[in-house]
Amino acid sequence: MAVNPHNIQQAVMAVNIAQASASTPVAAQNSPALRQVWETIQADSCPHSYNFHMHTTCSDGQLKPEALIEQAVGIGLKGLAITDHHSVRGYQAAHCWLEQQDQQSSSRPLPHLWTGVEITSNLLETEVHILGYAFNPEHPSLKMYLQGHAVKGKDAKAARVIAVLHEAGGLVVLAHPARYRRSAEVLIPAAAQLGVDGVETYYAYKNTDPWEPSATQTKLIKKLSATYGLLNTCGTDTHGLNLRRRM
């Protein structure tokens, strides 16, 4: 029987990630491990293996952080990030939940939780959302962006937001690039020029049930990410009670 090299790569990666406890702050800020995951992301990676865009009651979601992480364990996610708007309180609560599970020697496999946040920003005079991952949430430069509300003025400019997330050790992604007033063909090159690391390539723009990436937008964004040397990510952008859907 033929062996799928992609499956072997995914299995090795899962073992490497599992070597660091899922509940430690060091693991949550492990950007090389996250980059390694993104290098293998496929259209079917989300929502059953990985999910890098989810919201809790700490911003505009309906799931409490503890309910979200418990659901993620039930689904069997290997890795995830909670990306509340301008807040890491959801991540912190989920981290505590995972830590308790570790201490209880739970037999259930636990996913790798990375730090995450979604920041409203301005790119080419267009409001966009910037996703940050695997950053140090205690970094002083990030403080103003984690107060539960969008910042204004020069601090809201995409160049500044991207720079600050990088200063905090994070990776930076342009969220749902085909949802904005200006086209992905315009915004992605501009974001790449500012140093963004990736784009949210796999996204259900039509909010389908079951969740699946929108084919037309995925094709375009994959082409653009390849052109500009960007990583591809995926996420359900969950705001409701089901991590397999957006709403």
Phi first, then psi: give them for residue 25, nearest 5 degrees: -60, -35
Does the residue 163 lie in any domain? yes
Does the residue 12 lie in any domain? no
Does the residue 149 lie in any domain? yes
Give the list of residues 6+ apart from residue 166 with CB closer than 8 angstroms, or none.
Answer: 172, 195
Stretch 176-180: mean pLDDT: 98
> Which percentage of the chain shows pLDDT scores above 70?
89
Token pair belonging to 235: 């996420």
Structural domain count, the chain? 1
pLDDT bucket at 107, cuts 50 / 70 / 90? confident
pLDDT bucket at 7, cuts 50 / 70 / 90? very low
Q: In terms of pTM, does the model score above 0.95? A: no
Does the residue 206 lie in any domain? yes
CATH of the domain at 131: 3.20.20.140
Question: Mean pLDDT over all residues of the chain?
Answer: 92
Does the residue 203 lie in any domain? yes
Give the list of residues 6+ apart from residue 134 with CB closer than 8 angstroms, or none.
Answer: 28, 29, 30, 31, 34, 114, 115, 169, 170, 171
Does the residue 222 lie in any domain? yes
What are the tens digits of pLDDT across the range 12-37?
454 444 444 455 678 999 999 999 99
> Can you give the pLDDT at residue 35?
98
Q: Whole domain around residue 209: which residue ranges?
A: 30-234
What are the tens digits of pLDDT across the range 193-229?
999 999 999 999 999 989 999 999 999 999 999 999 9
